[in-house]
């Protein structure tokens, strides 16, 4: 059976989003994908843990799609990590529900790629800033794939966004076809 993909879409201000909306529009209707908008589902941040854990069990590839906020994720995704990845479910002696699944971070950043270098204004490569996500996935027995990153999102014009969104769509189609993009580590 083809891998089933769960896209956790996390953006607190959709009316101001260009990049994540463009990316989401390109993949939302793909048949192999469950598109789950966390801010729409939980506007008061009261996450239904049982529902989220059932969704995780039912999928093979988990996508965390969000803008980079303060070198991390918007707060609802942090809350989701805190309450959904419970001991005994995601990790710990009997916490094996996520073993063997794959995780893909899909990120947009305001800063250009060159700023995410030791001599750039953001000083650290994104791979280093994303270590908490990578290690979270790893602790839960999942493979953390090479992130799909859209740098300098605010500077992209509509044709550029359309081209990147088409690449994102193809990337998810490849994952859904069972092609295995290179793990990040």
Instruction: Tell me which stretch binds ligand FMN (CB under 6 A): 37-45, 68-76, 134-142, 170-178.
Output: 68-76
Closest CB to ligand FMN: residue number: 110
Alpha carbon 31 to its chain centroid, in Å, reads 18
Q: Are 49 and 86 in contact (CB under 8 A)?
A: yes
Binding to ligand FMN by residue 127, rule CB under 6 A? no
Q: In the complex, what is the shortest distance from the CB of residue 129 to ligand FMN, in angstroms, rounded to a whole number?
A: 8
Inter-residue contact 85 to 31 (CB < 8 Å) = no
Q: Answer yes or no whether residue 65 interacts with ligand FMN by CB under 6 A.
A: no
Query: Which of residues 62, 67, 90, 133 is near ligand FMN by CB under 6 A?
Result: 67
Q: Is 120 in the site for ligand FMN (CB under 6 A)?
A: no
Number of residues near ligand FMN (by CB under 6 A) = 17
Instruction: Say how far apart CA 6 and CA 61 lie, in whole Å.
Output: 6
20, 37, 10, 182: which is closest to 102 by C-alpha? 182
Nearest residue (CB) to ligand FMN, 73 versus 90: 73
With tokens 């580590």, the residue in question is 185
82, two tokens: 């805190």
Residues numbered 97-116 forming contacts with ligand FMN, rule: CB under 6 A: 108-111
Give the pair of three-digit tokens for residue 34: 């469950």
């Amino acid at each position: 059976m083809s891998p089933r993909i769960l896209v956790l879409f996390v953006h607190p201000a959709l009316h101001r989003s260009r990049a994540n909306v463009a990316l989401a529009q390109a993949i939302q209707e793909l048949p192999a994908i469950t598109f789950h908008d966390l801010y729409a589902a939980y506007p008061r941040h009261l996450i239904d843990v049982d529902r989220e854990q059932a969704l995780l069990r039912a999928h093979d590839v988990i996508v965390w799609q969000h803008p980079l906020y303060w070198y991390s994720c918007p707060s609802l995704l942090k809350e989701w990590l805190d309450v959904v990845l419970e001991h005994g479910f995601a990790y710990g002696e009997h916490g094996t529900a996520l073993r063997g699944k794959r995780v893909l971070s899909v990120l947009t950043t305001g800063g250009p790629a060159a700023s995410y270098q030791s001599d750039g204004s953001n000083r650290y490569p994104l791979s280093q800033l994303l270590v908490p996500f990578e290690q979270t996935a790893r602790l839960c027995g999942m493979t953390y794939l090479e992130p799909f990153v859209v740098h300098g999102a605010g500077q992209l014009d509509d044709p550029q966004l359309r081209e990147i969104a088409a690449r994102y769509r193809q990337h998810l189609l490849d994952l859904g076809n069972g092609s295995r993009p290179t793990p990040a580590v």
